[in-house]
Each structure stands twice: as structure tokens, then as C-alpha cells.
A and B are shown apart, each in its own frame.
Chain A
Amino acid sequence: MFKKFNLQETMSGQNSVKSSVVRGIRTKLVDQFPELGPYVDEILPKKANLIQVKCKDHITLFAIDNEILFFQHFNDPITPTLRLLHQFPNILPHVQVDRGAIKFVLSGANIMCPGLTSPGAKLPEKSLPVDTVVAVMAEGKEHALAIGVLKMSTDEIKTINKGIGVDLIQYLSDPLWKTHLD
């Protein structure tokens, strides 16, 4: 989603989010990402001064103290950024790609099923349904490589084992990763 993104070019304005809206966002986040629940007070305190940065193509970034924590496309669910995921690794369910897939992911390619089922890869024991937002971990690495969304359930990834399994949302060193507010 952020293969081409330039904050300076696309930013159309920023403003503080009202605290009532912050509460709404908190509720939605917890609904959408059950794993995030225990951390929500730390990530997005009720009285946080949340800044909303509107960009072109209906992308909205949410930041506290110039740290971009979430983004939203149209009315899609608000999604954590990779930086936030690094700070709170357990807010999303994990899938793991094998070593061979890392360089493709870093160039922004969507993840093919075999990269998720090979010996170096890992899928959670509990099946995850299609459209789940996941943390993409990598063989032998501690930190997440990307954030993606499942294009088929993890059961299907195992059985079909062909085609795209995960669409990338954000990956290390993509333009959003490199974006800093100031």
C-alpha cells in the first residue's frame, strides 16, 4: 500500500483528534485486534493527544508525539504501523516466512504460500481466517519484517499451497517506514 508514498507531497492537513473520537478508536482497535487489548492503555491512553494526518488517496495517519502509530485507508480498519508492532510485538498474530522469502518481501512482493509453508516458515496452530491482519516474522529474525493481510485462511494456505497467501500492507524500509513527522 505504501510502495509509493511521499508525506510532503500528499499531506493535506493535520489536526488533533477529539478525546471522544480517541475513545471510539480505542474500542475499534480492541475489537479488530483482540491481541492488542492488553496494551491499548499503553499505546493509546484515553487522554492521548492523537494527531490525525490526512493524506492523498484517502490515507490517514495517526500519530502521538510525532510517532506514526496507525494508519487507515478509506474506512478500512485502523491498522498499527510496523514501528508500533516492533514496540509491541504481540499486538498481531504472527506468521513466519522462510529466509529465502525475506529479500522478496523487502522489495515489496506479496508473499506466496510456499514461503509460508516451507521448513523455515511457521503458521500459527490455531487457524486464522481470511482478511486477518498479521505480523510477518522471518526465519532466524527477532523483529517483524512486514505487516500483511491474509488472502486466504491459514488452513487454505497449508492445503492449497499455491498463489498469494499474504498481501503486504507495510514492510521494512518502505516509504511509510522512512516517513518521519516533525
Chain B
Amino acid sequence: MSATTKKTVLYCGVCGMPPEYCEFSAAKKKCQEWLSSKYPEEHERLYGDAAITEKLAQTNLSEDKAAKEAARMEKAMSKEEARMARELEKKMSSRVVIKRVERNKRKCVTSVQGLEIFGVDLKKTAKNFANHFACGGSVSKNPQGQDEIVVQGDFSDEILELILKMHPEVPKDNIEQVEEKKSKKKAPGAVGA
């Protein structure tokens, strides 16, 4: 075969674009940190003094306009950062609920809600559960319109463990286990189990 012409392109570990485009990324600062720690020469080439002078020469905006533009970018950036912080907070405060739902006396299903907020692929995870427990597992919409994983059988504890193992990004404290009885017992405690 003839000499290879395929180029290998470096992509930013934060935003996924070639690093030369990171200046347009919402996570610009993180991108820069990533590049300087992983590829210092590339960082120097893009953000070093020489690069900045060149960029200034390139831009055809008047200085006044450039300053305004910079201020605007700065504002947008801080907004974006605030948004990311909010999102993280939302993530940290949201719960994953593992619910045991009784279908009749002997049978029940286990539903898992809220995993998607942590970026977990529901379909794949449902399949995984199904394989793991040798039972039916699927993704379905609950009455509130949210997607949830439904597994046939009572696997509440096992699922908790499996989630902790497979998705360390989900904090243990955010996972909640609940039981849902189909109908309320008429007089709880009246009859011994």
C-alpha cells in the first residue's frame, strides 16, 4: 500500500473539539487546563505569547469593538460556568429511586428511576440488569412521563450493589430504596404475618 495519508487529529479531552477550537468552547478554562497538563507543547503553541500576538494581528475588529466583544464573551462564559455549577448541584441533589412494586402476593417488579440524570444509558443498563438477573428488563415510561428501568422480580438490593459497582459516578447517598405495596393492608399489624 502507498504511504499513509491519514492524519491523526488531537481532540480536546474536555469539549471533544480540536484544541484550536477550545476558545469557542463553553468550558474554555477547563479545556486549557486539560491541554496544558496533557500536551504542554500544544498548549504553548495555541495559548503562548506568540499565538496571542498573531491572533491580535489577525483580528480585523477595531480595538473598541474587540474590547466589547471580549467583555461579552466573558459574560457569556461566566453564565455558562454558573449553569454548569447549577447542573452539578442538580445532579448532586437528585435521587435514584429503586422501588419494589408488588404485582400480586408472590410476584413483584423492581423499578429504577432517575439514573439518566447521572448520564447512565438506560437501555444498556436495563439489558445489563436483565442479563445479570436472568429476567425481563426494559425501559418504560412511568405515569409521570419519566423513563425508568423495570426489572421483573425482586432485585432491590442486588440492583443497588450493581449500580454502585458499574456506575461509580452515582453517589451512594443519592440512591434510595423504597417498597410499594399494591393495596394498603386493612389493619396493619392486626394479623401476624
Contact = CB atoms under 8 A, between A and B. Distances in A.
Given A41-B1, A86-B9, A87-B7, A143 B20 contact: yes
A156 B8 CA distance: 35
Interface in B8-28: 8-9, 15-18, 20-21, 24-25
A173 B16 contact: yes
Nearest to B4: A42
Interface stretch (A12-20, A49-57, A99-107, A123-131): A99-107
A103 B6 contact: no
Interface in A88-140: 88-89, 99, 102-103, 106, 119-120, 139-140
15 contacts: A8-B123, A42-B5, A87-B6, A87-B7, A87-B9, A88-B6, A88-B7, A120-B60, A139-B58, A140-B55, A142-B20, A143-B18, A143-B20, A173-B16, A173-B17
Nearest to A89: B7
Interface string B132-175: 00000000000000000000000000000000000000000000
B121 interface: yes
A89 B18 CA distance: 14
- Determine chain B's interface SS by DSSP, over half rule: loop
A89 B7 CA distance: 8
A139 B15 CA distance: 20
Given A87-B6, A173-B25, 17 more contacts: A39-B5, A41-B1, A42-B4, A87-B8, A87-B9, A88-B7, A89-B7, A99-B58, A102-B21, A102-B24, A106-B24, A120-B58, A140-B54, A140-B58, A143-B9, A143-B20, A173-B15
Interface of B: 1, 4-9, 15-18, 20-21, 24-25, 54-55, 58-60, 121, 123-124
B17 A172 contact: yes
A88 B8 CA distance: 9
Contacts of B20: 140-143
A106 B20 CA distance: 13
A142 B6 contact: no
- Determine chain A's interface SS by DSSP, over half rule: helix
Contacts of B1: 41-42
A143 B25 CA distance: 15
B173 to A, nearest CB: 28
A173 B26 CA distance: 11
B69 to A, nearest CB: 9
A8 B7 contact: no
Contacts of B60: 119-120
Nearest to B6: A87
Contacts of B5: 38-39, 42, 88
B123 A42 contact: no
Nearest to A9: B123
A20 to B, nearest CB: 23
Contacts of B54: 140
Contacts of A88: 5-7
Given A106-B24, A141-B20, A86 B58 contact: no
